[in-house]
């Protein structure tokens, strides 16, 4: 497949019935809007911890269109420090009205990211709320998840550690990854598959893109 939307639009996930769809790391809603259009019947849960981005999501009305949480997904419950990204957004960028680059904020300290994109700065911090997927499952009582879209800037290991029960009942996981440490402690794709419940024999890589992978939980089919 050329990209993940070929899979989504092509029926990889049912579009004609209610599904549970998690977007973890929504930024300012570009993909959120696409998910609402592709899956009009979906129970859409959206998570975004950067306070600048959540303010923009609310300004755009996404808090009225889906379940929006001002939360980072991690391996603990409580507060953590987030490294806030900044930098000049290209004039006319349609993704946001913000003037700062807020795409790269992370719970993890930037490392190789500083070399790969030196114009992106990490000069400020914010205290953000963090929750484990398994804690949210206990609190909200949601069942199986049809699809998780995770764009969490190097914190994939934290999401997995805090979501073993939830991920075991998730059909598809689409996640960003890097095989070098863009952020300190970021794990490569092979390690992501090892740490997911059931390990690599359970999670089939349906498609590997430049810095994203679509994984299928074979135990759910």
For the stretch 159-203, pLDDT in tens is 999 999 999 999 999 999 999 999 999 999 999 999 999 999 999
Task: Render pLDDT for 28-78 as a digit per residue (tens, 0 to 9).
Answer: 999 999 999 999 999 999 999 999 999 999 999 999 999 999 999 999 999
Q: What are the residue ranges of helices labelled H in the chain? A: 4-9, 30-38, 51-59, 62-65, 113-116, 133-140, 156-161, 164-168, 189-195
pTM: 0.95
Q: Residue 98 pLDDT more than 80?
A: no
Cα-based torsion angle of the residue sequence 166, 153, 111, 184 in order, rounded to the nearest 10 degrees: -10
- Please tell me the distance from the alpha carbon of residue 145 to that of residue 97, in angstroms, as a whole number: 32
Domains assigned to the chain: 4-79+129-220 (3.40.50.150)
């Amino acid at each position: 497949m050329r990209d993940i939307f070929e899979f989504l639009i092509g029926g990889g996930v049912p579009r004609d019935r209610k599904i549970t769809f998690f977007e973890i790391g929504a930024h300012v809603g570009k993909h959120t809007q696409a998910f609402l259009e592709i899956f009009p019947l979906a129970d859409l849960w959206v998570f975004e911890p950067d306070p600048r981005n959540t303010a923009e999501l609310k300004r755009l009305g996404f808090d009225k269109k889906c379940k929006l949480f001002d939360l980072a997904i991690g391996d603990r419950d409580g507060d953590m420090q987030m490294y806030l990204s900044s930098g000049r957004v290209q004039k006319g960028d349609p993704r946001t009205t913000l003037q700062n680059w807020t795409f790269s904020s992370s719970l993890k300290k930037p490392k190789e990211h500083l070399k790969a994109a030196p114009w992106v700065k990490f000069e400020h911090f914010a205290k953000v709320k963090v929750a484990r997927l398994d804690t949210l499952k206990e609190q909200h009582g949601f069942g199986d998840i049809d699809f998780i879209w995770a764009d969490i800037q190097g914190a994939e290991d934290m999401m997995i550690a805090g979501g073993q029960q939830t991920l075991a009942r998730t059909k598809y996981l689409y996640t960003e990854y890097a095989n070098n440490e863009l952020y300190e402690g970021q794990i490569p794709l092979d390690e992501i598959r090892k740490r997911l419940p059931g390990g690599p024999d359970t999670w089939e890589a349906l498609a590997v893109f430049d810095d994203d992978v679509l994984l299928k939980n074979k135990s759910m089919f």
